[in-house]
Structure 1
């Protein structure tokens, strides 16, 4: 395990150069996705003919279960400390326990090879803990067998880059761990590099590029006031800033940073978190009471979709019909036309009790054919056919509260 005691501020002092111009990238190169001659295969895994989709839930006591969406079987994967939130790269589940994160291998993943896909299944496993203090922000790529995973602990101010290839072998290996001051920072992997925020006045204010050993890359730094929220799309890695988004792409093996500003004159609040279907260029985020921001990383554009009611989550399907899904504050799932903003359909209030009581974290996840929503207070996971008038296609009752939900195998 590699630990670098030097502070990030000291290390970046030798390389801090403000971004003077904007880079550009060719369309849809796998900018944030490392390549592999093995097409995502690892020892002991079976290659399948279709994606082995599942949802992983964590209950209030830390019990982790995985629901197979093909045969509807349920497996208990293990126990962990009580989690405050969970995220995934489509294979690994990163559960935030406040004093570090628990890493869970679902044993299911899809390898995106741009023009085709490979699907794998292996034995699931509880891989262990990554120590740290305070809320953890996790950033991943679309590869579950190569590259890196970024973790930033707000309480201890530690920026950590994990070796994803080691995770695929059941090992937790830190490429670097850099000490900063406590604040809400971000570490975002891209190729063989990582974007790491720098603080100013207790908030993330700029972004620099480090290599996998934690060494700064001279001349690749950009201002990003109040940096919050990150996602990896088909085009590159995104970090939200107060004035728009910072898009990082790989061009001839080097990282280029490009600004995507909000439209001039907008009064809608900036995005603080992004969500969308894996492998697509468009993602969504909340715009306060103004509705939903859509960020198209391929076209480098923002679109504001007004919504006629308060919403608490939004995600972009980015399919041919340009569906955008939203979870309203009253527990309904809304299906919106991303091109026109028209409300196409909506469900009944599926998770009204969960939202009203604060029981767990209802999470809306979008896949190509379906969406999934957990109701902790309702003790249920819903499968929603959003293209068919938001029809509830399946309902999975749970024996305990599904406090957190992620989808794996995608």
Structure 2
């Protein structure tokens, strides 16, 4: 069973914004709508800080599990036969078999009201399946979740998901990348065009003037929505019908474009592998790319502004880089090269306090303090193989 080998359990640091002006404690069901506390969600418990959960799949067994770092408890929560890929939009986790995707409500999420934030937990549950392809990616706003794969885009009604149902909304708009953003759906087509739709799928504005050849990778940050293109990154900002876009072109470094972005949720610094030679870092606020000379990477992620970029090398070493100087500032060997180079590759997720790396060969997940020279804070020993991993609660 699971244990902690790295000393006493550490309480997760409270990250993000505290819920100013909202009651702390649990939001328990009340006798009537008028007596329900502000932010009340039926059947959910409210907390004063982010409630991170790791969602994991044992691909051989076809089983899905959650791991709560705060309690160190793991639980089997469902099945996903033939799962090959995983993605998340913050609350819901998606496990693709290449032909269909199993949708899991992880039971951990955040609601941002602008001037304050609510954090919730509920019981996790498998909700159903939706037809998709390979290359799964996910993104969402309050109303719509978008699943992108080589089979097209599937838009899901987020309110229905919260009620336990998988309901498609909007048509398959035929794009290669899609982001729900600014109360609109921003869709990059395989022909390089970028169109804007309302949440029902109806055309909502003129096409964005900037093109995006060979769309690849997508992310939503506090500084705008980002779609990766073969010639740079397209950053979309604004609200409603006043969306605008700006291209941040790659510098002439001779490295391959990124194929996916990885970052701490919401943070405007993104990282992605630059082929076999290094890692691209995109600072959305500064409008700049930086190429890190890291060598081949099995997994990458960026912790945020003025924070390290983390790279799990194919040799099994986790390294931290200063994106401003390109200098490696810390390293820690977590696994051997055979494990780091396996397929599927290990995942690297970053939240406000910790980074997590799954090690299927050791039936373990490593918790790393990236603010303390990549100190191994805890090792979670599991009774299953964590082949796929995403983090929810944001």
Question: What's the TM-score once normalised by structure 2's chain length?
Answer: 0.84
1:310-336 per-position Cα deviation (integer Å, ceiling 9, x unaligned):
2222211015x4211001011111011
Against the structure 1 CA distance between its residues 81 and 41, is the aligned structure 2 distance closer, same or farther, given a 3 Å change threshold? farther
Unpaired runs of at least 5, structure 2: 1-36
SS at match of 2:338: helix
Alpha-carbon shift at residue 103 of structure 1 (Å): 0.8
Aligned pairs (5 A) from 1:172-321: 172-178=166-172, 180=174, 185-200=176-191, 205-221=192-208, 222-251=210-239, 253-263=241-251, 265-307=252-294, 309-319=295-305, 321=306
Partner of 1:342: 327
Give the alignment's Cα RMSD to 1 decimal: 2.1
Against the structure 1 CA distance between its residues 58 and 252, is the aligned structure 2 distance closer, same or farther, given a 3 Å change threshold? closer
Distance in 1 between residues matched to 2:360 and 2:38, nearest whole Å: 37
- Of residues 151, 154, 158, the one that matches 2:150 is 154
Partner of 1:32: none
SS at match of 1:377: helix
- Of residues 351, 354, 362, the one that matches 2:346 is 362
Against the structure 1 CA distance between its residues 326 and 136, is the aligned structure 2 distance closer, same or farther, given a 3 Å change threshold? closer
Alpha-carbon shift at residue 355 of structure 1 (Å): 2.7
SS at match of 2:111: strand
Alpha-carbon shift at residue 160 of structure 1 (Å): 2.0
Alpha-carbon shift at residue 361 of structure 1 (Å): 3.0
1:312-367 per-position Cα deviation (integer Å, ceiling 9, x unaligned):
22211015x421100101111101112211111111142533234x2543001111
Partner of 2:88: 88
Against the structure 1 CA distance between its residues 401 and 252, is the aligned structure 2 distance closer, same or farther, given a 3 Å change threshold? closer
Alpha-carbon shift at residue 288 of structure 1 (Å): 2.4
Partner of 1:19: none
1:273-300 per-position Cα deviation (integer Å, ceiling 9, x unaligned):
1000012111111122442211122222
Question: What's the TM-score once normalised by structure 1's chain length?
Answer: 0.81
Unpaired runs of at least 5, structure 1: 1-37
Distance in 2 between residues matched to 1:123 and 1:330, nearest whole Å: 38
Distance in 2 between residues matched to 1:179 and 1:113, nearest whole Å: 30
Matching of residue 105 in structure 1 with residue 105 in structure 2 = yes
Against the structure 1 CA distance between its residues 349 and 66, is the aligned structure 2 distance closer, same or farther, given a 3 Å change threshold? closer
| Contact 1:41/1:120 (8 A) holds in 2 | no
Distance in 2 between residues matched to 1:153 and 1:68, nearest whole Å: 29
Alpha-carbon shift at residue 65 of structure 1 (Å): 0.7
Aligned length: 356
Alpha-carbon shift at residue 90 of structure 1 (Å): 2.2
Distance in 2 between residues matched to 1:336 and 1:135, nearest whole Å: 31
Against the structure 1 CA distance between its residues 329 and 39, is the aligned structure 2 distance closer, same or farther, given a 3 Å change threshold? farther
Alpha-carbon shift at residue 373 of structure 1 (Å): 0.3
Distance in 1 between residues matched to 2:319 and 2:165, nearest whole Å: 40
Partner of 2:20: none
Partner of 2:393: 409
Alpha-carbon shift at residue 218 of structure 1 (Å): 4.3
| Contact 1:104/1:126 (8 A) holds in 2 | yes
